[in-house]
Amino acid sequence: MTNKIRGMNRANAERVFVLVAELHGDLHDRFIPDRWWLVWILMGLEIAFTNCLTQFLINRDCVRPILHFTIFTVQVLALAITILVVQRHLGGARSQRESFIWWIWTTFLLAASIAVLLNLLLELPLFALAAVLPLLAAVAFSTMAMVVDTHFIWAAELFALCSIAMAVFPSAQFYIYGGAWVITLESFGCLHRPRSVKAGHTL
Share of residues in the chain with pLDDT > 70 (%):
72
**Residue 154 pLDDT:** 94
**Residue 90 pLDDT:** 56
Helix axes 132-147, 153-168, angle to 10 degrees: 170
What is the Rg, in whole angstroms, of the alpha carbon atoms belonging to the chain? 19
- 80-84, 176-180, 183-187: least confidently modelled range: 80-84
Contacts of 22 (CB under 8 A, 6+ apart): none
**Residue 18 pLDDT:** 55
**Residue 202 pLDDT:** 42
pLDDT at 26 over 90: no
pLDDT at 130 over 80: yes
Contact 51, 4 (CB under 8 A): no
Q: Give the pLDDT band of residue 203 (cuts 50, 70, 90).
A: very low
**Residue 59 pLDDT:** 94
pLDDT at 132 over 70: yes
Tell me which DSSP letter residue 94 carries. Answer: P
**Residue 116 pLDDT:** 86
d(CA 181, CA 67): 22
Q: What is the pLDDT of residues 48-63, one digit of tens each?
A: 999 999 999 999 999 8
Q: What is the pLDDT of residues 102-120, one digit of tens each?
A: 889 899 999 998 998 898 8
Q: Give the pLDDT band of residue 194 (cuts 50, 70, 90).
A: low
Question: Does the predicted model carry a pTM greater than 0.85?
Answer: no
